[in-house]
Amino acid sequence: MNNSNLKKRIVWFINSEIERVLTNLKNGAVNKEYALGSFNTLYQIASSTRDADSMINLCEIMDKIRESNHRTGLFHFTEIRSESFY
């Protein structure tokens, strides 16, 4: 597997995990701190591959979560998700 193919798979994994964590946060399956930890891990993965777009996207999402008053469940900020897989 060449580096280009590997990077595409990593970007796909990051995007799918972002969707999964956001869905779980919205449904109340995870709390705000768990979601921030998950996004921090994804940020570390993106930074190791030097994927600037994913890093910027993750920073914006984490900033939006930190600014919110919500602790668990019914977390609505669909405008931050620029790409939807549905």
Residues in a beta bridge with 72:
31
pLDDT digits 0-9 by tens, 28-44: 888 889 999 999 999 99
CB atoms near residue 72 (< 10 Å): 15
Could you tell me the two tokens for 72?
């668990």
Q: How far apart are CA 64 and CA 86, in angstroms?
A: 22
pLDDT at 20: 96
Report the pLDDT value the prediction gives residue 35, as an integer from 0 to 100. 93
- The pTM for the full model equals 0.76
Sites in the chain below the pLDDT cut of 70? 1, 70-86
Question: What is the rounded distance in angstroms from the CA atom of residue 9 to the CA atom of residue 79?
Answer: 25
Q: Is the distance from CB of 82 to CB of 39 less than 8 angstroms?
A: no
